[in-house]
Amino acid sequence: MGLSPCKQINKTSIGFSQNIHMKRTIIASLLLIIACKEEKKEIKTEVKPQQTEEKVVLNNETNEAEDAKKWLEKSIVDYFKSDIGSEEKNMQKITTKEYFEYKTDAMNVDLDVDGGLTEKEFQDKWKSKFDISKAGVGAGFLIAAQDWDKIEVGSCDLELSSKDEYLFNVVLTDKTFKAEYPSVIKVVKENGSFLIADVWQ
């Protein structure tokens, strides 16, 4: 026994409307998936430049520290190669103005020289700006010895770095006198140039 034409049409229209409903659901689902993928792509592209910037900053800091190290090693060797008569002038070229004045005062403590200070006067003048216990009072610039032959940089290792400031553990050697001079040297970058800002002896 067959179905009446009305019932057949009814079944067909139900199947057709279900088909349309199914197609709409599939299209809506596809649109949602595409929208989510686009959102993820946007998030990914936003993250990448930030990571690249961080790497560039880290590389720049590493390069700067390496440049500061090379400058320090060369400056030390050049300083000790220079004529004894021009030591003060050469020291002035590679140090900050403030450190030059501080170290000059430290070398001249209790000496009968123009502008020489007593130890107490030296402490009162500089204790707020430098660690005066590491000034190397009475000792020379970079090494404690009065006499040397050939000063070389035995080691120069970066201990700390921040923006335009670098702290190096340095050991200077003099093979002739079988001497080693350990110190911590602070290098700063001022107006595009590296300078020694402190030496802990």
Exposure pattern of 117-136 as b/e (b: 16+ CB <10 Å)? beeeebeeebeeebebeebb
Strands (DSSP E) found in 108-192? 151-162, 165-174, 179-190
Mean pLDDT of 171-182: 96
Mean pLDDT of 119-139: 96
Cα 17 to Cα 12, 20, 23, 27, distances in angstroms = 9, 5, 10, 15
Measured between alpha carbons, how far is 76 from 127 in angstroms, rounded to an integer? Answer: 26
pLDDT one-digit tens code per residue, 58-105: 566 679 999 999 999 999 999 999 887 899 999 999 999 999 999 999
In the predicted model, is pLDDT for residue 25 greater than 70? no
Specify which of 10-14, 20-24, 54-58 reaches the highest per-range mean pLDDT: 20-24
Record the pTM. Answer: 0.70
Strand order in 193-200's β-sheet? 151-162, 165-174, 179-190, 193-200
- Helices marked H in 95-161 — which ranges? 97-107, 119-126
Q: Mean pLDDT score of the chain, rounded to an integer?
A: 83
Instruction: Copy the structure tokens of residue 2.
Output: 């067959």
Task: Specify whether domain 51-81+142-200 bears CATH 3.30.360.
Answer: no
Other beta carbons within 10 Å of 52? 10
Contacts (Cβ under 8 Å, ≥6 apart) of 169: 155, 156, 157, 159, 182, 184
Which percentage of the chain shows pLDDT scores above 70?
A: 70
